[in-house]
Structure 1
């Protein structure tokens, strides 16, 4: 009889403990973060913050979701996602159209994108774009950027054939006869070229225009979150900052966290990309995530000059450093 009583007490205690864990989990604030694209090393800090418990330490239960057809910016602006991965260029366009989305951190300090081509094409500068075919996604921004960098060498953008290559990846596109160069982020596609032993030439945007050194990607939220849930935004940014700092300091372990979370990714590519990108996250900034008003103003000015904006941007409303944790 005594034995059954002891077992009963133990069962009650175990049930109580289990109940406390469930209650604790239930007390976490549920948050959705939408990615801009399929998971990659731009997102590593978010996965680290989630899987190492940094978000949970701040009282947040974070779900990382894919953008779907709506797109990350639309989901964030409408409040269907609390936070998202975006770009300075798209937020600039959105703000001018009174879309209430705000950048709260620069994922990478400097623009690492540029125009890539197979080495055999001999494209080593914007002047070499003449007589070549560019494969893009059909946005007016693309022609404006190509024109802008070509003007630095007195080259003529009208001599570039610009075509929409749809969903084709860079390697599929340039290995065809009808595409000579495309716009890539070196930290992913460029690193993949190295792993493939595919020799490419890069024309980086930042080599030809300071105004094109904008923040891409960024973390964003909406004005409603900032106004009504500033404490949640601060908690999210504290954990995200920890996650990205961990990825800066521990690129190998961070890569493994992303690989474990997204096993369909190419593990070799993730590891190589993470090593390349780790020092680029913070770069010359005093802390990860910091944004400068002049960077927002310069790029918006460039867009306005190239007729890509209907009106000038109020840069102060487009971004904030308010929610970054205080520097040590």
Structure 2
């Protein structure tokens, strides 16, 4: 999960002011910020940045495949993949500093309700692969077992709401959970320092636990409510980018889809591409994570990236009922499938 989600709201409020003011004045729109580069055939490529949500991992493999395999160049783009600054990916995209980024349905939902015009263009993973994980010796096998345990939190109100929601189904009482903010500490460090469980993406941290020989009990949040089977992560842009340069959006998403399609069909080769592009990553972890995650990118959807209105509205309704939103979401404006390539043409 994004540990900095709790910092998002004030930053997005500032971002909304920037958007209202025209994102920094004349000449500052994403469509105007690009420089030129040349492709192999001498054609001009458009420089484009995409900002990650966190450090590079297998959620991002399709981006690196599209970059390294030349899919972006074929689409006329020179794409640079960057890590987020202090403000985070959502703020950078919403303000127009970069045209594309990796985000989460929960943060885009919150942003839209606050008037920040982020738009989801594609679901990276079709089903929510996050959940509450704990070392098996903590004996947390059901939501009720969280009672009396210490939870490693990052400080977002959505955490307690989700815990309460799934614990209620099992007769548990969330007030009996001790939440401790662990900041940027990783899962394995936290559980050795008094934390019993935390919220993780299994495809990275869970797979790493397997490789370490540290078995986990895992409770996927989607298994306790269909409303919690939301899209995380997602690829986002902002409304202004779509209005000003829809062809850029279409080209970027088509090439990105091709990258994820390659990763679905060739998990081992895709892992090699990510390892080569980001040599600081643990090759064994990347290989194992990619093998686990590649089938889950598209899963039961008719094509990679597809999003359903009921997933957006269902999760937003749940957030509203939990008091996490000040107003109801217009789900039709929060996402679009319009820029995905026609099925079978990637």
Give the ranges of 4+ consecutive aligned residues of structure 1 lying more than 2 Å apart after TM superposition.
Answer: 19-25
Larger Rg: 1
Q: Which residue of 2 aligns with 1:191?
A: 207
What is the distance in 1 between the residues matched to 2:204 and 2:302?
25
Alignment of 1:124-139 (within 5 A): 124-139=141-156
Describe the SS at the equivalent of 2:110.
helix
Describe the SS at the equivalent of 1:28.
strand
Describe the SS at the equivalent of 2:311.
helix
Q: CA deviation at 1:121?
A: 0.5
After superposition, give the CA deviation of every residue in 1:210-263 in whole Å (9 maximum; x if it has no partner): 100000000001101111111110000110000000000000010000000000
After superposition, give the CA deviation of every residue in 1:262-320 in whole Å (9 maximum; x if it has no partner): 00000100000000000000000000000000000000000000000010000000000
TM-score, normalising length from structure 1?
Answer: 0.92
**Which stretches in structure 1 are left out of the alignment for 5+ residues?**
1-18
Q: Which residue of 1 aligns with 2:245?
A: 229
Among 286, 294, 300, the alignment partner of 1:278 is 294
Q: Which residue of 1 aligns with 2:197?
A: 181
Alpha-carbon spacing, 1:166–1:20, altered in 2? closer, same or farther (3 Å): closer
Describe the SS at the equivalent of 1:64.
strand
The structure that is helix-richer by fraction is 1
What is the distance in 2 between the residues matched to 1:305 and 1:20?
52
Q: Which residue of 2 aligns with 1:62?
A: 79
Q: Which residue of 1 aligns with 2:274?
A: 258
1:247 matched to 2:263: yes
Among 209, 213, 217, the alignment partner of 1:201 is 217
What is the distance in 1 between the residues matched to 2:45 and 2:197?
47
Q: Which residue of 2 aligns with 1:308?
A: 324
Among 44, 52, 74, the alignment partner of 1:35 is 52
Q: Which residue of 2 aligns with 1:167?
A: 184
Describe the SS at the equivalent of 1:215.
coil
Q: CA deviation at 1:24?
A: 2.5
Alpha-carbon spacing, 1:20–1:194, altered in 2? closer, same or farther (3 Å): closer
1:90 matched to 2:114: no
**Which stretches in structure 2 are left out of the alignment for 5+ residues?**
1-36
TM-score, normalising length from structure 2?
Answer: 0.87
Q: CA deviation at 1:199?
A: 1.1
Give the aligned length. Answer: 308
